[in-house]
Amino acid sequence: MPLSDRVLHPGLRRKIMSAEAAAALIPAGANVGTSGFTGAGYPKAVPQALAQRIKLLHADGEDFQIGLWTGASTAPELDGALAKVHGIEMRLPYQSDPAVRKQINNGQMQYTDIHLSHVAQFVWFGFLGHLDVAVIEVAGILPDGRLIPSSSVGNNKTWLDQADAIILEVNTSQNPALEGMHDIYYGTELPPYRIPIPLLQPGDRIGEPYLRCDPDKVIAVVHTDLPDRSNQFAPPDENSQAIAGHIIEFLQHEVKHGRLPKDLLPLQSGVGNIANAVLAGLNDGPFRNLTAYTEVLQDGMLDMLRSGTLAMASATALSLSDEATADFNANIAFYRERIVLRSQEMSNHPELIRRLGLIAMNAMIEADIYGNVNSTHVMGSSMMNGIGGSGDFARNAYLSIFMTPSVAKGGSISCIVPMVSHVDHTEHDVQVIVTEQGLADLRGLSPTQRARLIVERCAHPDYRPALLDYMERAQRESLGQHTPHLLDDALGWHSGYLKTGSMMAA
């Protein structure tokens, strides 16, 4: 489909220009809000042109950096390209690009890790400063200037509303049949004028299929035809199959005891290999006609929709491999009936998550014996990706499940430790911990009861004796007996790993 069929507003047609010309309109020091969520729907041409411009300016000795705000992670063509030329002063919220991660961990880039449901309202509140420019990928522009969103919605509504100037990237490789799949809710207000959000079921449509956009704020329209990043997932291995098996058994047990209906409650599934593999397990499991109220749709969710395990799914973005994207495009009429894409302040909204009663399943880096969870920091100081939506869901879900293999890096790291080296989710927000070894249901237990269960059920046998030894010594020597700890030893597993390369030796 040619560009002229996608840009139907006459005034905006006159603003079509090259990515280089559009990038030249972004001033140094600007806060730039871009589309993009887990490698879907991000602008692909203007950021690369901007990176090229920054490279030349830096070679001439000029300072040029921007603040980069997105929905969540993007791709090498966006934050990756800008990081490589040291063009980002401040990045927020979730990221997963290796170049960005390296600069954050070298102290060369500022990074603020915000719950994904908070980002839009923090901008409305003025907590993050002023948004200067929005760069948004769209699938098309209607005659009245409204926009057809592409493969993610993220924070686009907020960026379009708040930015002084807008650059639109019209991506003709995005399927035109995406039109109608989105639901953009315009009923949000600032406190004290907020009203309840009228969404009662995961599939409810409460807004409009298009993004509103003031054509007078649009300073450039740029054509692209590049596909989204391919999100490759590791095939389910023995560990992830075992984790999925424990979760299915647990959910069946909950149905049997009347704590869950037989078609469960809406599922939320986090990012990454483990989460995707657990979906594969659920797809082979006994449940049918489920729903999902989640943030990203990974390959596993499409498989579940096709098989009928899942009746419908609500999210803010797709995050697919090339093969899954091909299937999505070939069968978009089928998926359009079953998928709703929303703004991330709706997909991750605490009020909705609590009311719908979600089953939240998120991966983690490590948990401690008391059930505190670290989702973000390796060895307490190196940022992996960010908290993403895991806190939005974990804090408010009906059931909050965290999962990980019991060991990492070939067994040299135990993912169950005496004390987590960084806390993202406190013991109060974590109800179930699962590893390939087993599942610990922590509901209603005291800290010492939780510790015994987590070590017995979830720790790897190679680390279990050392954890039991820690618990026994802590119960003898700790100042308090409510949550016994040995402060000198609690982080010794991590410091031991940093010194010797293994927690075994610690």
Residues that bind ligand COA (CB under 6 A): 270-275, 295, 362-366, 375, 378, 384-385, 387-390, 405, 408-409, 413, 415
| CB neighbour burial string for 414-440, b if at least 16 within 10 angstroms, e if fewer | bbbbbbbbbbbbebebbbbbbbbbbbb
Beta bridge partners of 343: 154
Task: Select which of 254, 295, 345, 366 is catalytic.
Answer: 295
For residue 111, the minimal CB distance to ligand COA (Å) is: 14
Taking CA atoms, 30 is separated from 110, 129, 133, 182, 429, in Å, by 15, 11, 7, 29, 37
Contacts 24+ apart (CB under 8 A), 475-481: 475/448, 481/448
| CB neighbour burial string for 3-25, b if at least 16 within 10 angstroms, e if fewer | beebbebeebeebbbebeebbee
DSSP 80: I
Q: Is 295 labeled as catalytic in the residue annotation?
A: yes
* Pair type for strands 165-171 and 133-141: parallel
Beta bridge partners of 40: 37
For residues 445 and 451, which CB has a smaller minimum distance to ligand COA in the complex? Answer: 451
For residues 227 and 380, which CB has a smaller minimum distance to ligand COA in the complex? Answer: 380
For residue 378, the minimal CB distance to ligand COA (Å) is: 4
For residue 381, the minimal CB distance to ligand COA (Å) is: 11
DSSP letters, 146-169, are -EEE-SB-BTHHHHHHH-SEEEEE
For residues 171 and 343, which CB has a smaller minimum distance to ligand COA in the complex? Answer: 343
Contact 171, 75 (CB under 8 A): no
* ω into 93 cis (within 30 of 0): yes
For residues 283 and 414, which CB has a smaller minimum distance to ligand COA in the complex? Answer: 414
For residues 45 and 387, which CB has a smaller minimum distance to ligand COA in the complex? Answer: 387
For residue 387, the minimal CB distance to ligand COA (Å) is: 6
CA 403, CA 366: separation in Å to the nearest integer? 9
For residue 430, the minimal CB distance to ligand COA (Å) is: 12
Comparing every residue's Cβ against ligand COA, the nearest one is 272
SS3 52: helix
For residue 158, the minimal CB distance to ligand COA (Å) is: 19
DSSP 344: H
Contact 387, 113 (CB under 8 A): yes
For residue 108, the minimal CB distance to ligand COA (Å) is: 21
For residues 42 and 393, which CB has a smaller minimum distance to ligand COA in the complex? Answer: 393
For residue 187, the minimal CB distance to ligand COA (Å) is: 24
For residue 340, the minimal CB distance to ligand COA (Å) is: 16
For residues 6 and 91, which CB has a smaller minimum distance to ligand COA in the complex? Answer: 91
For residues 146 and 494, which CB has a smaller minimum distance to ligand COA in the complex? Answer: 494
Burial class of residue 194 (count of CB atoms within 10 Å of its CB; 0-12, 13-18, 19+): exposed
Residue listed under structure tokens 């170049």: 99
Six-digit token string for 284: 């082979």
CA 129, CA 141: separation in Å to the nearest integer? 29
Residues 6+ apart with CB under 8 A from 361: 247, 267, 268, 269, 270, 275, 278, 401, 403
For residue 279, the minimal CB distance to ligand COA (Å) is: 12
For residues 87 and 391, which CB has a smaller minimum distance to ligand COA in the complex? Answer: 391
Contact 389, 293 (CB under 8 A): no
Amino acid at 175: N
CA 318, CA 296: separation in Å to the nearest integer? 6
Burial class of residue 461 (count of CB atoms within 10 Å of its CB; 0-12, 13-18, 19+): exposed
For residues 325 and 362, which CB has a smaller minimum distance to ligand COA in the complex? Answer: 362
Q: Which of 392, 314, 404 is nearest to 360 (CA)?
A: 392
Catalytic residues: 295
